[in-house]
Every structure is written in structure tokens, then in C-alpha cells.
Amino acid sequence: MKTEQAINEFLDSRISNPNLSDLTVPWYQPKLQRFARVCPKLPKDRKPIETFLATINSSPATNLNYFNALRAFFRFISDRHDIRNPMARMHAPHSKKKGRRATLEPAEEMRLLESVPESNLRDRAILTLFVDSGIRSSELAGLRPQDIGMETIYVSGKTGDREVPISEETRKLLFLTIARHGKSDYVFYGHKGPLTRNGIYRIVSAYMRKAGIQRPKVGPHRVRHAFGKGYLVNGGDLRSLQLLMGHANISTTQVYADLAIHDIIAKHHQFTPLRAAHAAAQESFLDRVKAVEEAEAILKESTDEPEGISGN
């Protein structure tokens, strides 16, 4: 089987999957096409694949991206055509742990919300929804009026459809936005029709700059990271956060626990039971001191001579 033909089958399957991002095919395509130029015929064993991966010779992250693209491709082809998967026993190359994700502090989130003029209802609704729910920009772009419930919204993301809770303030802003533009297909519109992911990115990035929020990263995904961190800091748990954010694996959600560690440390210093134990011990010590002082005073009174009695 020709590699190019197999790649086309794989990419067509990605295009037809409504749950995948618009960026999925552009991410796979150049990597797989480069592989096809080196291996025009689909290999049946791992050696040609290992030889190709050795020629990438780039950063650990890029090497891992090529490996993951090929692994997904061969898994699909082996399942569809019932053939042996040559990558079944191959191990992913080592990749350094990613640095800490850029996020926002609560004060920055407040500045971001306050940067939107009162008159711009649509943008207020966009930013409020991001801060309140942590949904992806593609999920916000695809939001329809019928997706808004009494306390939740229904979104379609990478891992399928899910229900996400929202606050009453957010719900009111969404319906006010719909009422203002008077259209029924989508919640958010721009000058040329429904807002796209790129349009939403430009809107959020502009308000971030206006609020004085600087790089390394600006845009909706930074607000999403802030939601994940803030949810855990404020007492949420990993499992419910995984469901809220639509992560396929809990390991993805675990990153937010790492992000929140400094806030968790500060809370620990404030609420550790050891502090309460020390406070109780201090109170007990003071009580004992007071009791001794009272006892000494009583003893002194009992040894003093009563007034009006002579020493004769």
C-alpha cells in the first residue's frame, strides 16, 4: 500500500470527525507528508520508521510530535485494514517536562473583566464566560442559543459533548447578547458572521493588552489555564475539574495541581492543624499562668493580718 494513499485516508477521517479541532489536520499533514517522501511504500516493520525519526534531529518536543503523529497514523491504518501495526512495540522518545504554563492571578482576571466597556455587551459576555467556565475558544465559537440551560451550557469539544456549569451572571449576559443581535444560529457574531476561533483570540488578546497583561502568552487559553488553577486553589477536586475542562486523561488535569502548588502552600501555612494546635497550647499555657497567679494572690491574702487587729 502506498503511504500517500494511507495518509489521505487518515486525514479524511480527521476531517470528518466533528469533535476534533480545525487545527488537527494542519498539525498532522506536514509531518506525515515528510514521512511519505522518505517511505513512499507503507513499511511493515519498525526499522524504516526508526530511521526516519532519527533524521528529524530536532528538539525533544518536535521529535515527540513526529512520533505521536506517526503512532496515531499507524494505529488508524492497522485497525482499518486489519494489518500489523509496526509501531505497536515502539517507545516514545524522551521529552523534557514542559515549563510552567502561563496563567492569570485573580487581580489580573478582574482587570481583564473591567477593561471591557459597559456598552460592549458581546465582549463582556465572552470574557465572563471564559473566566467562569474555562471552556476552549472553539467551544465558545460553536455555542448556540439552544445550548444554554438554566445552570449549564452544552459544548462540543475535543473529547465530545459535555455539560458545563455557569453562573447566573454569565447566563444573563449570554441571553442579553442573543437578544441584542437578534440571530438564532449562534450566540456570538462578528461583522462578517459567527465569530471564529481566530476572531475570539484577537478580541481576548486585545483586552489583555489593554488590561496590562503581558506575554509570554495572551489569548483565551491563558484564561482557561487560570480557571483550572483557580478551581483547585478555591477547593475544587481534580476529577470534577477533568469533567469541566473536557480532558480525556486525568494526567492533563494534573498540570493544574502543579500550577496551584504555591497557592496551596500559602493556604497550608494559614490553615494547617499545627497552627491550631500551637494556638490551643498557648491558650492552655496562659490559662495555667493565670491560675498560678490567682492561687498566689489567694495565698497572700490568707497570710496578711486582718485590718483593725493589733499585734499584742
Please tell me the distance from the alpha carbon of residue 177 to that of residue 197, in angstroms, as a whole number.
18
Annotation marks residue 100 as catalytic: no
262 is catalytic: no
Q: Considering the candidates 101, 122, 136, 197, report the single residue annotated as catalytic.
A: 136
Under 8 Å between Cβ of 112 and 207 = yes
CA distance 161 to 157: 6
Is 278 annotated as catalytic? Answer: no
Catalytic residue status for 158:
yes
Q: Which amino acid is residue 275, in one-letter code? A: R
Among the listed residues 14, 71, 111, 221, the single catalytic one is 221
Q: Which residue has the cell 503511504?
A: 3
Among residues 28, 186, 189, 256, the one annotated as catalytic is 256
Cα separation, 2 vs 8, in Å, equals 10
Catalytic residue among 14, 46, 75, 158: 158
Report the C-alpha gap between 149 and 137 in whole angstroms.
Answer: 19
CA angle 161, 185, 158 (to 5 degrees): 25
- The answer to whether the CB of 47 falls within 8 A of the CB of 86 is no
The one catalytic residue among 31, 197, 224, 225? 224
Question: Could you confirm whether 136 is annotated as catalytic?
Answer: yes
Active site residue 97: no
- Cα angle value 241/244/246 (rounded, 5°): 105
Give the active site residues.
Answer: 136, 158, 221, 224, 247, 256
